Amino acid sequence: MKIAICPGSFDPVTLGHMDIINRARKLFDRLIVAVLVNPAKHTAFTLEERIDLLKRCTQSMKDVEVVGFDGLLADYAKIRGACAIVKGLRAMSDFEYEFQMSLVNKKLNPELETVFLNTTSENMFLSSSAVKQVASFGGDISNFVPACILDDIERRLWLCKVNMKD
C-alpha cells in the first residue's frame, strides 16, 4: 500500500488545499493529512479546530485520514510507513522553500520522496492568510473555502476582528 502525507497548518483549510488533497488521493492508496503545530505561526484556529474542520471536509473520503502532528515530518513518515510527502505549489517562492525542505526530509529519511503538485490556475492566488484577511473585514470568502465549514470560519474570523477592536 502506497501511503503519502500531505502536511500543512490549514489555518483555515481552503479550496486550494482541498484541490491538492483530492488530486493526491488519485496518486496514492492512502493519504494522511497532517495538521502541523508550528510554534513560529500564530493561528486563528486551535489544532483541534483545524483537525475538526478538515475531518468535516474529508468525511466522505475513506482513503483520507486527518491527524494532528508535532515533530519532524521525516520521522513521522517513517513511523506511518509513508513513501511520500505531497506539497502544493502556488508560486516560485513556494518552490524554493519546499525544495529546501524536501532535501532536508530526504537526508533525514532516505526512503521518503516529495511530490509537488502545482495549484490550478483558479487557486493560484489563494492562501489561508488571504482568507483570514478578507474574512476579518467581513468580505465574502464563499469562493475560497469549502461550503461545509464556511460559517465556522466566518464566525471565528469576524469575531477575532471584533475582539481586536475592544
User: Which CATH code fits 3-121?
Assistant: 3.40.50.620
Is 41 labeled as catalytic in the residue annotation?
yes
Q: Please return the burial class of 98, using the count of CB atoms within 10 Å of its CB with bins 0-12, 13-18 and 19+.
A: middle
What residues does each domain of the chain span?
3-121
**Catalytic residue from among 17, 87, 132, 156:** 17
pLDDT digits (tens, 9 = 90+) for 10-59: 999 999 999 999 999 999 999 999 999 878 778 999 999 999 999 999 99
Is 128 labeled as catalytic in the residue annotation?
yes
pTM, 2 dp? 0.91
On average, the pLDDT of the chain sits at 92
Q: What is the full DSSP assignment across 8-55? A: E--TT--HHHHHHHHHHHTT-SEEEEEEE--TTS--SS-HHHHHHHHH
pLDDT digits (tens, 9 = 90+) for 81-107: 999 999 999 877 788 889 999 999 999
Whether residue 162 has pLDDT greater than 60 = no
**Catalytic residue from among 41, 129, 142, 155:** 41
User: In this structure, what C-alpha cell is assigned to residue 25?
Assistant: 488521493
CA distance 43 to 77: 24
Whether residue 165 has pLDDT greater than 60 = no
**pLDDT computed for residue 166 by the predictor:** 42
Is 42 labeled as catalytic in the residue annotation?
no
**pLDDT computed for residue 164 by the predictor:** 46
**Catalytic residue from among 50, 102, 128, 132:** 128
